[in-house]
Amino acid sequence: MINLIVCVLFFYTGHLFLKLLFSLHKVPYVNFTIKDGDLSGMTDLSERMGVAGENLRQSLFIFIPLAVMSAVLEVDNLMLAKTWFGLRIVYLIGHVIDLYRFPHIRPLIWVPSIVVLIMMGINLYSI
């Protein structure tokens, strides 16, 4: 479980740079480093990466404590944690290829990741 937590943290760290990476050719780096930098030239892909990053942050603060508690209490949530991580990767790929321009596709990936977090919590509660 600890190895997976480290992988998720690296994934999150990489996620932080995607918004910048896909617009660096249109927006000067300095505009990303200051509070009121002009980001109006960002590409659509960069904006989607920002949305994907925000969505990851919303569930990461739930995943990390559940995963750490699972490791400490020796609850077997590894497969659920791997499933959550896989769904987060698929969610990011969906944003990269602009899959979510089609209605009702996004919840098909996002909702199961939340269900997995609930299942992890139930496993911890049932010990």
Question: What pLDDT is stored for residue 78 in this prediction?
Answer: 96
Please state, in angstroms and rounded to a whole number, the distance separating the CA atoms of residues 67 and 84: 11
Please state, in angstroms and rounded to a whole number, the distance separating the CA atoms of residues 83 and 61: 17
User: Is the pLDDT score of 24 beyond 90?
Assistant: no
Please state, in angstroms and rounded to a whole number, the distance separating the CA atoms of residues 39 and 42: 6
> What domain range includes position 28?
2-125
User: Is the pLDDT score of 127 beyond 80?
Assistant: no
Question: What pLDDT is stored for residue 32 in this prediction?
Answer: 61
46-97 pLDDT, tens digit each: 888 888 999 999 999 999 999 999 999 999 999 999 999 999 999 999 999 9
Average per-residue pLDDT in the chain?
88
User: Is the pLDDT score of 29 beyond 70?
Assistant: no
- Taking the alpha carbons at both ends of the chain, their separation in whole angstroms is 17
Q: Where residue 41 sits, what CATH number does that domain have?
A: 1.20.120
8 A C-beta contact, residue 117 and residue 87 = no
- State the total domains in the chain: 1
